[in-house]
Amino acid sequence: DAMVIQNPRYQVTQFGKPVTLSCSQTLNHNVMYWYQQKSSQAPKLLFHYYDKDFNNEADTPDNFQSRRPNTSFCFLDIRSPGLGDAAMYLCATSTTTSVREQYFGPGTRLTVT
């Protein structure tokens, strides 16, 4: 089945230690998104790629970076995680930037110790 896959599902990192979260998709969608979701809150868009074009939200901290080496994969890098970065990180895809529905992965829950 075509899908959005996130690895790992659970990630524990230490305060200040860089961490990378991974997302892959078999849908061949040209848009990929990264959201941060804190407990029982709405997902907050961090950035998205339209093909190789990177679009950063104005309030996304510089501590968060992203890479998209090809259509299928997208990575979220947190350069120096703080305790406030503990959250669920959701990857999503859609066919065009006009946004019909988005397809979400299962998420990676990040714990910062």
Partner 1 sequence: AQSVAQPEDQVNVAEGNPLTVKCTYSVSGNPYLFWYVQYPNRGLQFLLKYITGDNLVKGSYGFEAEFNKSQTSFHLKKPSALVSDSALYFCAVRAYSGAGSYQLTFGKGTKLSVIP
Which chain residues interact with partner 1 by CB under 8 A?
A: 4, 6, 33, 40-43, 45, 48, 50, 55, 57, 88, 90, 92, 97-107, 109
32: left (phi over 0), alpha (psi -120 to 50) or beta: beta
- Burial of residue 103 (CB within 10 Å: 0-12, 13-18, 19+) is middle
- C-alpha 69 chain-centroid distance: 14
Name the minimum Å distance from CB 21 to partner 1: 13
User: Other CB atoms closer than 10 Å to residue 65's CB: what's the count?
Assistant: 18
Nearer Cβ to partner 1 (61/106): 106
Residue with tokens 């407990």: 39
Name the minimum Å distance from CB 58 to partner 1: 10
Name the minimum Å distance from CB 90 to partner 1: 5
Nearer Cβ to partner 1 (62/101): 101
Nearer Cβ to partner 1 (17/53): 53
Tokens of 102: 């988005």
Q: Residues, the chain, total?
A: 113
Name the minimum Å distance from CB 16 to partner 1: 26
Nearer Cβ to partner 1 (73/109): 109
